[in-house]
Amino acid sequence: QQQVKQSPQSLIVQKGGISIINCAYENTAFDYFPWYQQFPGKGPALLIAIRPDVSEKKEGRFTISFNKSAKQFSLHIMDSQPGDSATYFCAASIWDDKIIFGKGTRLHILP
Amino acid sequence: DAGVIQSPRHEVTEMGQEVTLRCKPISGHNSLFWYRQTMMRGLELLIYFNNNVPIDDSGMPEDRFSAKMPNASFSTLKIQPSEPRDSAVYFCASSRTGGRSPLHFGNGTRLTVT
């Protein structure tokens, strides 16, 4: 119930393409869904976050789509660039409690 | 703002030895988290503190692991005795108020137990 399931494990996308990473959860009490980006040798850093009262949030080339009834949310990276190559983690939390992370997706953008 | 500072960056030790990882959170942050990252299990939450008090340690693998936060500016994660399966990258993160605030991660400690 506390898990966040993330897919795919790895993803290769051509430069300029759309990268899509999906996550699913079971616990309907989750009310905050952030995405973190991690570069090699660094800790993860917050990329974008959404609350379940909206279905979509966009920041530049990054968009979160949220489907409350399906208990799924996804990250879309438009016009993917080689600099976007990193590991991406979806996550979920309840109020100000601990954050539960998915297992991560290693994204590689081909130049 | 210096960010979250972890030390050491790398630690290589032999099985059975004691290992101590250190973390200095961002000043003014009230919550501190210890995570472990492996390829197989991803980012696992080990323990988190709020205002220096341990709130949830259900992720601590076993009694060999212990964590302390004696004051608002310092925390340690200790493994005694260490085992090869403890090899991983250990991250410390801090936030203003728990999970709703952005987590600020340190650069991690890569632990290798031989």
Average pLDDT across each block of 10 residues of chain A; the chain has 111 residues. List them in order. Answer: 88 98 94 95 95 93 95 97 97 83 96 90
Place of tokens 């869904």: A33
Dump strand ranges (E) for chain A.
4-7, 10-14, 19-25, 33-38, 45-50, 56-59, 62-67, 72-77, 86-93, 99-101, 105-110
Q: Is residue B31's pLDDT more than 80?
A: yes
Q: Is residue B40's pLDDT more than 90?
A: no
- Give the whole-angstrom CA distance, residue B48 versus residue B54: 6
Residues paired with residue A77 on neighbouring β-strands, in sequence order: A19, A62
Give the residue from B100, B107, B109 with the most A CB atoms within 10 Å of its CB, the best one to mutate.
Answer: B100
> Is B45 in CB contact (< 8 Å) with chain A?
yes
Average pLDDT for chain B: 94
CB contact under 8 A, A95 and B43: no
What is the pLDDT at residue B46?
95
Residue among A10, A23, A106, A13 at smallest CA distance from A71: A23
CB contact under 8 A, B100 and A45: no
Selected residue with higher pLDDT from A95 and B18? B18
A84: left (phi > 0), else alpha (psi -120 to 50), else beta? alpha
Chain A to chain B Cβ contacts (< 8 Å): 64
> Is A78 in CB contact (< 8 Å) with chain B?
no
Q: Is residue B99's pLDDT more than 80?
A: no
CB contact under 8 A, B45 and A100: yes
Place of tokens 């379940």: A52
Helices first, then strands: H and E counts in chain B: 0, 11
